[in-house]
């Protein structure tokens, strides 16, 4: 048993299904307070958030993560109770083992060891922990970032503990994420009898050429870190259910996963231009759920890459793949944000787990990164 494994098991034993923290942050706060961290509990709506900071000097290195987990799914399909951590065949099983309570435990033990070795580092350390990452993500990290922003409290480097690795611990770190921009499009026509098409206007037929052009459009070329931006329809619905009625409208839900080579405004303008070009009568509502962000190679990427090399012997690969994370909010007040955590193969699955042999090395990667940045 190691300190990191012990703390991970304690966190995993707490049933913190989003947005319920269920005492996880209190456990962390007690541990961090003993190190000299100043503890600030920030509750917004039903969501608990923790801002813990050691020191006032810059640079400030922040570890960010979430204590909430997704529901377990059918408990009877698990090899053991999902909220009673169990070790079998060298693996730690529990909901949240990979996503991402083990990372949070590793944050804490890395800070403990680092401060014991370097009681007067050249900078400060913080933890930003939320219980609203797996849910709506409205009252969690975004609200904490706004609160910090309002009092001009920024960060210099942020390490998010999301599970990023593919085959071996340390093989992949995320140095950016694509943005997510959704649209809800309603194309209007005139409802009528299928046998009298001259008395109706079929909105599906009218929309089809525009859909084809949108699907074939080149939005950008991507860049060294991101693939080209894509546009995809997620849902399309038109009709009354009857086979002899031309519908009066068709509704199309679509999404952009877009890189830093595009902006929200450039994508919206191009969509409207294509729809207007085809003379459509339409309504379009937009929803931005995440802006893209990118941390190019530099101080933080180099510090983490060196730490991973020292601990695992691997040359880590930079990636911007996958969905969104809370890094999208933190990037507003922190110029360098990188995600690194355990393997992601079992996240959100039945029998989620992490290799026990990876737990202490993960903490050591975080500790060595602190050494690289603050000494």
Is the C-alpha dihedral spanning 159, 165, 169, 173 positive or negative?
Answer: negative
- What residues are labeled active site? 68, 133
Largest CA distance in the chain: 83
Q: How far is CA 49 from the centre of its chain?
A: 16
Query: Is 370 within 8 Å of 192 (Cβ atoms)?
Result: no
Q: How far is CA 225 from the centre of its chain?
A: 17
Dihedral angle computed from the Cα positions of residues 172, 143, 232 and 343, in that order, rounded to the nearest 10 degrees: 20
Rounded distance between C-alpha atoms, residue 64 and residue 56, angstroms: 18
**Pure H helices in the chain:** 3-12, 24-33, 102-117, 141-150, 203-216, 264-277, 299-312, 327-330, 356-374
Q: Taking the CA of residue 332 as centre, how many other CA atoms within 13 Å lie in the half-sphere pointing to its CB?
A: 16
Dihedral angle computed from the Cα positions of residues 171, 320, 175 and 93, in that order, rounded to the nearest 10 degrees: -50
**Pure H helices in 194-252:** 203-216
Q: Which two tokens stand for residue 272?
A: 């409207």
Going from the C-alpha of 165 to that of each of 169, 177, 194, 319, the distances in angstroms are 6, 15, 54, 10
Going from the C-alpha of 319 to that of each of 157, 222, 247, 258, 322, the distances in angstroms are 18, 13, 44, 15, 9
Which stretch of DSSP H or E encloses residue 34? none
**Which residue shows structure tokens 């944050």?**
107
């Amino acid at each position: 048993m190691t300190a990191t494994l012990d703390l991970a098991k304690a966190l995993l034993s707490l049933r913190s299904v989003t947005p319920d923290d269920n005492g996880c942050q209190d456990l962390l706060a007690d541990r961090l307070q003993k190190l000299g961290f100043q503890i600030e509990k920030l509750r917004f709506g039903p969501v608990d958030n923790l801002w813990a900071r050691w020191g006032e000097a810059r640079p400030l290195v922040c570890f960010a993560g979430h204590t909430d987990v997704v529901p377990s799914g059918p408990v009877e399909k698990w090899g053991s109770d999902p909220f009673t951590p169990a070790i079998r065949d060298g693996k730690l099983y529990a909901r949240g083992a990979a996503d991402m309570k083990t990372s949070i435990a590793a944050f804490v033990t890395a800070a403990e060891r680092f401060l014991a070795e370097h009681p007067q580092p050249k900078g400060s350390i913080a933890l930003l922990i939320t219980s609203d990452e797996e849910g709506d993500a409205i009252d969690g990290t975004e609200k904490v970032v706004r609160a910090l922003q309002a009092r001009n409290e920024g960060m210099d480097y942020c390490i998010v503990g999301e599970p990023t690795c593919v085959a071996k611990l340390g093989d992949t770190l995320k140095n950016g994420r694509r943005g997510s921009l959704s649209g809800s499009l309603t194309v209007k026509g005139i409802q009528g009898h299928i046998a009298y098409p001259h008395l109706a206007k079929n909105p599906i037929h009218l929309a089809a050429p525009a859909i084809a052009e949108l699907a074939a459009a080149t939005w950008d070329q991507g860049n060294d870190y991101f693939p080209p931006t894509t546009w995809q329809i997620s849902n399309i619905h038109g009709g009354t259910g009857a086979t002899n009625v031309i519908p009066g409208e068709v509704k199309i839900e679509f999404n952009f996963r877009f890189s830093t080579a595009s902006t929200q405004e450039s994508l919206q303008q191009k969509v409207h231009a294509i729809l207007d070009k085809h003379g459509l009568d339409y309504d379009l509502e937009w929803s931005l759920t995440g802006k893209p962000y990118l941390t190019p190679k530099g101080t933080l990427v180099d510090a983490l890459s060196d730490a991973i090399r020292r601990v695992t012997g691997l040359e880590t690969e930079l990636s911007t793949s996958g969905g969104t994370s809370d890094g999208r909010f933190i990037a507003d007040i922190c110029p360098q944000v990188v995600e690194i955590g355990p393997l992601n193969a079992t996240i959100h699955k039945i029998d989620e787990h992490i290799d026990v042999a990876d737990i202490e090395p993960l903490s050591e990667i975080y500790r060595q990164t602190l050494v690289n940045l603050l000494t």
